A and B are shown apart, each in its own frame.
Chain A
Amino acid sequence: MADLRSTFAGITSPNPFWLASAPPTDKAYNVHRAFEVGWGGVVWKTLGEDGPPVVNVNGPRYGALLTPDRHLLGFNNIELITDRPLQLNLDEIRAVKRTWPDRALVVSLMVPCTEAAWKAILPMVEDTGCDGVELNFGCPHGMSERGMGAAVGQVPEYIEMVTRWCKQYSRLPVIVKLTPNVTDIRQPAAAAKRGGADAVSLINTVNSIIGVDPDTLTMSPATGGMGSHGGYCGPAVKPIALHMVAEIGRSPGSAGIPISGIGGVGTWRDALDYIALGAGNVQVCTAAMVYGFKIVQDMADGLANWMDDKGFATLDDFCGKALPTVTDWQYLNLNAISKAQIDQGSCIQCGRCHIACEDTSHQAITAVVDGKRHFEVKEDECVGCNLCVTVCPVPDCITLRTLAPGEVDARTGQAVVATPADWTTHPNNPMRKAVPA
């Protein structure tokens, strides 16, 4: 059986599945339950500075994007940081860590953007015996209006400054949690690295409104007849997060910094995606909030079985393996030619490939052949765009076949060239570089 043990930013855990800082990690009761069923680590729900606790709304804090069968695609919340007294949280953190010494216990923090505030809270947290701190520069709702959370995460200079304070006033590993509500994720990541962060974690939630109530024309969710944008997470945000993880991993200003992948992790496949793109571990919230804590067992089991199948003994064996396959568009091989092909044996004749291609793409799939309903690819029209593969309801019924060098592309009449060539040298590119001799 594969070894799932993880060391992330110097913090060890028996598996790479951590519960993200969120409602599931708000108090000892939940965290004990999480560790009992096997979570590798927990990032305790964000603590604020000492004083009167924050106040949450007493109406809907959550909203969701659901399928007709009410499978959750996306999830949104307006819950603030912990609304429990600081000392109570600190006491519980200390006790939980003593009970679960082998698990990772990281404490999420969000205090005003002043040196004094950070200097005050860090020793109290460190005193609990926790394994590290995560700086919440990500929450996009509520706290950001008070100059915290995403309001800090959107200004790289603040990230660097606060990170530096934390490294100065604490010996703990510092993980900087990033907001995706920025135009270029590489800037805040690089700032965290400059500030001395031990790791970054991402993504926090995305600014979002779930919808509008058709009866009242009130935004949803609303409390007392009004709503406010929430933070969006769950399966729908994973592709956004994966892109950001990859960007950080391949950008010179941030490459090499450990990354904790967050956003839509609900299965072992999701964890695989993050880790293969360079994340050292993953954090989970939505899946736990939908299914309960036991889901970690299925994720861990699936990941271990896949690793066994592929011959990976440890997480390091495949961590980052997919990152070198991410590049800029300009470097894609324009000489690589693919054509869709439809396996007639498994085709169920729904015709979705045809109508998608016919109406919206390249008119490259038949509907009728010799008077009969029949769907096949017209290779002289197919550009290999993958739309048909995407809309086909049958797994592996439509696949893309890459033409071998020398094979003639029926669309262009040209033989496939074995040598790769990209946009940088393409004759249509006015900025093209000379082709090396």
Chain B
Amino acid sequence: MSAAIPATDSHAPDVRPARLAAEQYAHHFADAAPRLTRTQALVEAERCLYCFDAPCATACPTGIDVPSFIQRIADDNLRGAARVILDANPLGGTCARVCPTEVLCEQVCVRTTQSGKPVEIGRLQRYAVDAVMDRPISQLFQRATPTGKPVAVVGAGPAGIACAVGLARRGHSVVLHDAQAKGGGLNEYGLASYKMAGQFAQRELDWLLGIGGITVLTGWRLATAEQLQGLRQAHAAVYLAVGLADTPSLRVPGEDLAGVRDAVDFIAELRQADDPATVAVGRRVVVIGGGMTAVDAAVQSKLLGAETVHMVYRRGPATMGASRAEQDWAQTHGITIHHWLAPEAILPGHGGAHGHAAAVRFERMVPLHQPGGGRLQHLQATGLHETLAADMVLKAIGQKLDASLLDDCGLTLREGRVVADDDGRTGVPGLYAGGDCRLGGRDLTVEAVEDGKRAAAAIHAELSA
């Protein structure tokens, strides 16, 4: 079949690092939304109406008492503000940076109804949390008397950290395992640099570890059922927060060509690079997918110096995983967003580009109307094709759980994820699960934190019974 694909480009592929002058990188990868100044924070805080049963607090998956923390900012009581935030959401610093607030707290802010402009809750939250992170966490929270009960947490992403902190505060001893070289999970490896500027993921994790009672074991990968069995035997409870470490295949010809890679790997490489100038990027980049990861990959490609970046989604705007604000952010950065185009083949180049991606061919889709259909409509091919030239193709069509190792643990898997209740209880005694690997939710960082927080409470209740 690939033989039938016409030649597209005979130029050598152009994928290389250092496309920009050195000084441009610092500017491009600086904080996307810097911390508010005190004056900005006070003025913004004054806009909060201190609603009764505040819609913002209800909309927050972790239930942060938003009016209270904003009131405390207005009162110059930043420690009190941070305590309100972090008590509900230990990763309030990350969430302040990465939450799609425009579909959560800020969407329902009554100031939106009143004047079309919500209180900038996310930025105020960051203002308060950042302000306390230069002092020890013990000035906000004290660890309870150690219980001596060990709990294993697998996965040091948002859910795992939230669970570990929740357990440690209650006096339990936690071993926080992670397969990567650093803790933090997606906070460390999966988010755009400009969202987490200043090594924020590690700063936050280190600060939280100051609570005491948490041992971090990095480079520890859960790969066998025996390992899990061993954890269960050695600990009073085990919390699985392994995330979605695998990426699905596009299942189109040409996926194995050079220049085609997973967006999550590209993002991780950039996050771990000491200097972004060392990260190679294509002159022309095509990102396949419509979620936050696709936006992070597309925008950062552009910031690394790609000339053209196309973000291509097989469905329409309504079902894009990227929020409206993220889409705007992408378009502001010169990303062209295409809808209703499904990838059909990645085309190799010729001559110097042999064996390397040179273009992506898409087929235009239309929604297939069906009565009572779900959120995601079925698609119908139109037979119309479009081809976008590409030196680099980034796949951002989602992540999935590597379920193989969990097959023999007695866990119920559905839709490729672990079935557990909202407190993380699986069908297996003493084994809890949460975060993205758990079935349900929108795969938001803040939801993972809530999972971990609730699981910590549930595990504590069980251990205290």
- List residues of A whose CB falls within 8 A of some B CB: 67-70, 348-352, 354-355, 367, 373, 393-394
- B45 on interface, CB distance cutoff 8 Å: yes
Verify B43–A352 contact, CB threshold 8 A: no
Give the size category of B's interface with A: 10 to 19
The residues of A that contact B45 with a CB separation of less than 8 Å are: 68
The residues of B that contact A367 with a CB separation of less than 8 Å are: 52-53
Whole-angstrom distance between the Cβ of A152 and the nearest chain B Cβ: 41
Verify B51–A351 contact, CB threshold 8 A: yes
In the assembled complex, the Cα of A348 lies from the Cα of B119 at a distance in Å of 14
Residue in B52, B55, B114 whose Cβ sees the most chain A Cβ within 10 Å: B52
- B341 on interface, CB distance cutoff 8 Å: no
The residues of B that contact A355 with a CB separation of less than 8 Å are: 52-53
Verify A352–B42 contact, CB threshold 8 A: no
- B102 on interface, CB distance cutoff 8 Å: no
Verify B113–A68 contact, CB threshold 8 A: no
Verify A69–B52 contact, CB threshold 8 A: no
Question: Which of B52, B53, B54, B113 is A348 in contact with, Cβ under 8 Å?
Answer: B113
Q: List 5 A-B contacts (CB under 8 A).
A: A67-B46, A70-B42, A350-B49, A355-B52, A367-B52
The residues of B that contact A67 with a CB separation of less than 8 Å are: 46
- B329 on interface, CB distance cutoff 8 Å: no
Verify A350–B110 contact, CB threshold 8 A: yes
The residues of A that contact B55 with a CB separation of less than 8 Å are: 349, 373
Question: Which of A68, A70, A352, A393 is B52 in contact with, Cβ under 8 Å?
Answer: A352
In the assembled complex, the Cα of A68 lies from the Cα of B51 at a distance in Å of 18
Verify A68–B74 contact, CB threshold 8 A: yes
Verify A69–B46 contact, CB threshold 8 A: yes
Verify A352–B50 contact, CB threshold 8 A: yes
- Bitwise, B228-272 to A at CB < 8 A (1) or not (0) is 000000000000000000000000000000000000000000000
In the assembled complex, the Cα of A373 lies from the Cα of B54 at a distance in Å of 11
Whole-angstrom distance between the Cβ of B59 and the nearest chain A Cβ: 12
Question: Which of A68, A373, A394 is B53 in contact with, Cβ under 8 Å?
Answer: A373
The residues of B that contact A349 with a CB separation of less than 8 Å are: 51, 55, 110, 113
The residues of B that contact A69 with a CB separation of less than 8 Å are: 42-43, 46
In the assembled complex, the Cα of A373 lies from the Cα of B110 at a distance in Å of 13
Whole-angstrom distance between the Cβ of A431 and the nearest chain B Cβ: 42
The residues of B that contact A352 with a CB separation of less than 8 Å are: 49-52
Verify B114–A393 contact, CB threshold 8 A: yes
Verify B52–A354 contact, CB threshold 8 A: yes
Verify B53–A393 contact, CB threshold 8 A: no
In the assembled complex, the Cα of A70 lies from the Cα of B45 at a distance in Å of 12
> Nearest CB to that of B42 among chain A residues?
A68
The residues of A that contact B54 with a CB separation of less than 8 Å are: 351
Q: A67-B46, A351-B53, A352-B51 are in contact. List 17 more A-B contacts (CB 8 A).
A: A68-B43, A68-B74, A69-B43, A69-B46, A70-B42, A348-B111, A349-B51, A349-B55, A350-B49, A350-B51, A350-B110, A351-B54, A352-B49, A352-B52, A355-B52, A367-B53, A373-B55
**Of residues 87 to 111 in B, which have CB atoms within 8 Å of A's CB atoms?**
110-111
The residues of A that contact B43 with a CB separation of less than 8 Å are: 68-69
> Nearest CB to that of A358 among chain B residues?
B52
Verify A68–B114 contact, CB threshold 8 A: no
Q: A67-B46, A68-B45, A68-B74 are in contact. Are A394 and B52 (CB under 8 A)?
A: no
> Nearest CB to that of A359 among chain B residues?
B52
Whole-angstrom distance between the Cβ of B115 and the nearest chain A Cβ: 9
Majority secondary structure, A binding face: loop
Verify A393–B74 contact, CB threshold 8 A: no
The residues of A that contact B53 with a CB separation of less than 8 Å are: 351, 355, 367, 373
Verify A68–B46 contact, CB threshold 8 A: yes
Verify A350–B52 contact, CB threshold 8 A: yes
The residues of B that contact A373 with a CB separation of less than 8 Å are: 53, 55
Q: A351-B53, A367-B53 are in contact. Are A394 and B46 (CB under 8 A)?
A: no
Whole-angstrom distance between the Cβ of A90 and the nearest chain B Cβ: 45
Whole-angstrom distance between the Cβ of A72 and the nearest chain B Cβ: 14
**Of residues 24 to 81 in B, which have CB atoms within 8 Å of A's CB atoms?**
42-43, 45-46, 49-55, 74
In the assembled complex, the Cα of A413 lies from the Cα of B389 at a distance in Å of 79
**Of residues 401 to 420 in B, which have CB atoms within 8 Å of A's CB atoms?**
none
> Nearest CB to that of B73 among chain A residues?
A68
The residues of B that contact A394 with a CB separation of less than 8 Å are: 114
> Nearest CB to that of A393 among chain B residues?
B49
Complex A-B, nearest 8 residue pairs according to Cβ-Cβ distance, in ascending order = A351-B52, A355-B52, A348-B110, A68-B42, A350-B51, A348-B113, A68-B46, A350-B110
Whole-angstrom distance between the Cβ of A424 and the nearest chain B Cβ: 40
In the assembled complex, the Cα of A350 lies from the Cα of B48 at a distance in Å of 10
**Of residues 337 to 391 in B, which have CB atoms within 8 Å of A's CB atoms?**
none
The residues of A that contact B114 with a CB separation of less than 8 Å are: 348, 393-394
In the assembled complex, the Cα of A367 lies from the Cα of B49 at a distance in Å of 16
The residues of A that contact B110 with a CB separation of less than 8 Å are: 348-350
Whole-angstrom distance between the Cβ of A100 and the nearest chain B Cβ: 40
In the assembled complex, the Cα of A180 lies from the Cα of B275 at a distance in Å of 69
Whole-angstrom distance between the Cβ of B68 and the nearest chain A Cβ: 13
Whole-angstrom distance between the Cβ of A194 and the nearest chain B Cβ: 49
Whole-angstrom distance between the Cβ of B77 and the nearest chain A Cβ: 11
In the assembled complex, the Cα of A355 lies from the Cα of B67 at a distance in Å of 14
Whole-angstrom distance between the Cβ of A377 and the nearest chain B Cβ: 15
The residues of A that contact B52 with a CB separation of less than 8 Å are: 350-352, 354-355, 367
The residues of A that contact B49 with a CB separation of less than 8 Å are: 350, 352, 393
The residues of B that contact A350 with a CB separation of less than 8 Å are: 49, 51-52, 110
In the assembled complex, the Cα of A393 lies from the Cα of B113 at a distance in Å of 12
Whole-angstrom distance between the Cβ of A372 and the nearest chain B Cβ: 12
In the assembled complex, the Cα of A403 lies from the Cα of B52 at a distance in Å of 29
The residues of B that contact A354 with a CB separation of less than 8 Å are: 52
Whole-angstrom distance between the Cβ of B116 and the nearest chain A Cβ: 11
In the assembled complex, the Cα of A67 lies from the Cα of B39 at a distance in Å of 12
In the assembled complex, the Cα of A69 lies from the Cα of B44 at a distance in Å of 9
The residues of B that contact A70 with a CB separation of less than 8 Å are: 42
> Nearest CB to that of B111 among chain A residues?
A348
Whole-angstrom distance between the Cβ of A343 and the nearest chain B Cβ: 13
In the assembled complex, the Cα of A67 lies from the Cα of B42 at a distance in Å of 9
Whole-angstrom distance between the Cβ of B43 and the nearest chain A Cβ: 5
In the assembled complex, the Cα of A393 lies from the Cα of B51 at a distance in Å of 10
In the assembled complex, the Cα of A394 lies from the Cα of B46 at a distance in Å of 15
Residue in A70, A351, A354 whose Cβ sees the most chain B Cβ within 10 Å: A351
In the assembled complex, the Cα of A350 lies from the Cα of B111 at a distance in Å of 9
In the assembled complex, the Cα of A351 lies from the Cα of B45 at a distance in Å of 18
In the assembled complex, the Cα of A394 lies from the Cα of B115 at a distance in Å of 10
The residues of A that contact B111 with a CB separation of less than 8 Å are: 348
> Nearest CB to that of A346 among chain B residues?
B114
In the assembled complex, the Cα of A163 lies from the Cα of B174 at a distance in Å of 84
In the assembled complex, the Cα of A352 lies from the Cα of B55 at a distance in Å of 12
Whole-angstrom distance between the Cβ of B404 and the nearest chain A Cβ: 45
> Nearest CB to that of B49 among chain A residues?
A350
> Nearest CB to that of B55 among chain A residues?
A349
In the assembled complex, the Cα of A36 lies from the Cα of B422 at a distance in Å of 72
In the assembled complex, the Cα of A348 lies from the Cα of B55 at a distance in Å of 11
> Nearest CB to that of A214 among chain B residues?
B76
**Of residues 106 to 146 in B, which have CB atoms within 8 Å of A's CB atoms?**
110-111, 113-114
Whole-angstrom distance between the Cβ of A65 and the nearest chain B Cβ: 15
Residue in B45, B51, B111 whose Cβ sees the most chain A Cβ within 10 Å: B51
The residues of A that contact B74 with a CB separation of less than 8 Å are: 68
> Nearest CB to that of B43 among chain A residues?
A69
In the assembled complex, the Cα of A367 lies from the Cα of B74 at a distance in Å of 26
